[in-house]
Amino acid sequence: MLSRWSLILLLLFSLTGCAGQPVSVDYEPRAAFGLMKTFGWANGDSAELAAQNGLVDRRIRDAIAQQLKWHGYSETTAEPDFLVDYRLRDEQRLRYRTYYDDPFFWGHYRPFHGPAFSHTVAEPYPVRILTLDILDPQRRLVWRGSYSAAPWRADTPAERETAIQAQVQAILQHFPP
């Protein structure tokens, strides 16, 4: 009996762990993903990051190419079946927290129940969003995946590369749909 309840609890915890996944995906259902075998670079939005920070650009491109090759696609410059582009941006989002104040609460003892006042505070927090776009040869968007999380807290280049590879892998595990 204990093992059955343990299994049920394990399944519940694993399902709640999937609820807040930082990956979102959207795609064109009529796109012929099964016919795609080769990829190339679109050099759209990613060209701006390459000019600003070539190290991050190289790490992201290497991670994307590695994952796509692992999925069986090959990179080419001559008439690829689809084009890849990415965008990396930082945003400030707001988190709302409500706090309750009780003027009749002294320390650990509350002599009687009186009114409690609440106030809500907006707390800004940073979010880094990595978006991967898959375009057909006519440069129409057919698939988009994005990963949003706190900015990388990596101190060394190896840690930054590991963080980028993990995010790209999380996005591209949903490609093709």
The structural domain count of the chain equals 1
Q: How is residue 46 written in tokens?
A: 């990613």
Please answer whether residues 72 and 34 qualify as being in contact, where contact means their C-beta atoms are separated by less than 8 angstroms. Answer: no
| pTM of the shown model | 0.72
Q: In terms of residue numbers, what domain contains 27? A: 22-90+129-172
Query: Could you tell me the CATH number of the domain that includes residue 148?
Result: 3.30.160.670
Whether residue 159 is contained in a domain is answered as: yes
DSSP 171: H
Model pLDDT, residue 16: 40
Counted residue by residue, the chain has a size of 177
Look up tokens 């990596």; give the residue: 154
Question: In a 3-state reduction of DSSP, which class is residue 90?
Answer: strand
Whether residue 165 is contained in a domain is answered as: yes
Instruction: Give φ, ψ of 43 to 5 degrees.
Output: 55, 45
Please give the average pLDDT of every successive group of 10 residues along the chain, which has 177 residues: 49 44 90 93 74 83 95 92 92 86 59 66 91 93 93 82 93 90
Torsion, Cα 160 165 166 169, to 10 degrees, reads: 160
Strands 82-101 and 38-41 turn out to be: parallel
End-to-end CA distance of the chain: 40
